[in-house]
Amino acid sequence: MSYPFFLRLAYVGTSFYGWQIQTTLRSVQGELWKALRTLDPDAPMPQGTGRTDAGVHARAQGVLVTVARHWDPYRLLAALNAYLPSDVRVMTAEAAPEGFFPRHHAVAKRYVYKLQEGPAADPFLLDRAWHQYGKEPLDRKAMAQAAAQLVGEHDFSSFRAAECAAKTAVRIIFKVELVDCGPALDLVFEGNRFLMHQVRIMTGTLVDVGRGRKSPDSIATILAARDRRKSGISAPAHGLYMDQVWYQRRGGIGDVSPWPEPL
């Protein structure tokens, strides 16, 4: 008899070489599996909703774990956190429905990229946000105009890493929002799926627009080119957060997606 549970993990990615387990390097999946096997030595490897790169943070990494005996969800959460390092935590735990698999049943995700501005980087945001040096803030109006062109279903070949192995670069972006936080700016991206480094490259390109290096109208041309060389740099990993994942309604896991599910 086995018992599946759905966990929502939060972690600071600074000291991790990404979510996926590594042979010798520290990973979030590896640390969680180590803690899980302390409770159940035969527990299979935890399965996450998606990979995060080295240095990327998460507030809502969805994970499926399977244990050999029934647990009260709160006690499982507390027991795992007792064995996890302080930079990763199980935030919620609940019984998972039969056949649920986080990666396959995810229908939409939200990523947030955090920027800070000004003549000096805030030391309290070290490894938490990408600092934009300068006296003047980024041109938010131009960035919003550019961001609007990313919304919809497009071939995002110009916005994916060269080593991306996805079979197709077609993705749907539901929303790109700029949230002004004083001398800081959050870029919020919601979409059905994301390509390798897609959010970081979109961020780098929008920053180029905000600095006047690219025109707001250039996004359509960059998309049409389907050429990575036409877009901006890949923003550093430390400003990126996996902020929310929505799953199929029928599973009853988490909040209901505000976006339509695929038929």
Alpha carbon distances (Å) from 258 to 113, 125, 187, 190, 245:
20, 31, 18, 10, 11
Per-residue pLDDT 10s for the chain (263 aa) are 899 999 999 999 999 999 999 999 999 999 999 999 999 999 999 999 999 999 999 999 999 999 999 999 999 999 999 999 999 999 999 999 999 999 999 999 999 999 999 999 999 999 999 999 988 899 999 999 999 999 999 999 999 999 999 999 999 999 999 999 878 999 999 999 999 999 999 999 999 999 999 999 999 999 999 999 999 999 999 999 999 999 999 889 989 999 988 86
> Hey, where are the domains in the chain?
3-96, 105-243
Topology of the domain covering 3-96: Alpha-Beta Plaits (3.30.70)
The span from the CA of 9 to the CA of 59, in Å, is 7
The span from the CA of 48 to the CA of 56, in Å, is 15
Could you tell me which residues are beta bridge partners of residue 164? none
Q: Which amino acid is at 149?
A: Q
Tokens standing for residue 3? 């018992």
The span from the CA of 125 to the CA of 15, in Å, is 15
**Counting runs of H as helices and runs of E as strands, what totals does the chain give?**
6, 10
The CATH class for the domain spanning 105-243 reads: alpha beta
Do 3-96 and 105-243 share a fold? yes
Question: Cβ atoms within 10 A of the Cβ of 132, count?
Answer: 19
Handedness of CA 124, 242, 52, 82 (dihedral sign): positive
Query: Token pair 């199929």 is at which residue?
Result: 248
Residues catalogued as catalytic: 53
The predicted pLDDT at position 55 comes to 97
> Angle at the Cα of 122 (from 118 to 124), degrees rounded to 5?
160
The predicted pLDDT at position 251 comes to 86
The span from the CA of 138 to the CA of 172, in Å, is 26
